[in-house]
Structure 1
Amino acid sequence: MTMTLSPDQEEALARKARLVAVVITVAMLLWMGAQWLGGRIGIDTRYVFLFDLATLATFFWAMVNTYQIWRTRRDSRG
């Protein structure tokens, strides 16, 4: 039995996918900016690692959400 998604559900998944894309882009840009700025002003290494961990957490969140989108679309096709 195949379960098709309604247009509202498709739109919700598309919105979620766009959010994931924006979050990945912003996280990467902020991380790159923090690395550059840290090198310029000599931020302590432990603070640089905080930026790294925050970025990794953001990527983990994005990966989980991408998996949820993939599963929903796959399950809707049967």
Structure 2
Amino acid sequence: MVRRQVRLGLIVTIGAFVAWMVLQFLGGQLGLPARFVFLLDLACIAALVFALLVLFKAWRASQNDGV
């Protein structure tokens, strides 16, 4: 259970950073308005907060299990 949570947290974290870099590049190339780029930034931040909560929950579970 803990390993699955850690894996999910890592996948979401890596995916959010890769998506953020790609979307920043595409936003500049396509000339997207700043409000849309800001909305994409907020979506990536939300993904990172989700990953942080999942990893914190996994850490707490490992502390309780003594792993």
TM-score (structure 2 length as normaliser): 0.92
Superposition RMSD on alpha carbons, in Å? Answer: 0.8
Whole-Å Cα distance in 1 between the matches of residues 4 and 45 of structure 2? 22
Q: How many residues align?
A: 66
Structure 1 residue runs of 5 or longer lacking an equivalent are: 1-11
- For structure 2, which runs of at least 5 residues remain unmatched after alignment? none
Instruction: Specify the alignment match of 1:69 in structure 2.
Output: 58
2:23 to 24, 34, 37: 34
Q: Which runs of 4+ in 1 moved over 6 A?
A: none
CA distance in 1, matches of 2:36, 2:15: 19
Q: Could you say which structure has the larger radius of gyration? A: 1
**Alpha-carbon separation, structure 2, partners of 1:22 and 1:44:** 29
Deviations 1:18-47 (A, max 9, x none): 111111111111110010001111100000
Q: Distance in 1 between matches of 2:7 and 2:63?
A: 18
C-alpha deviation, 1:54, in angstroms? 0.4
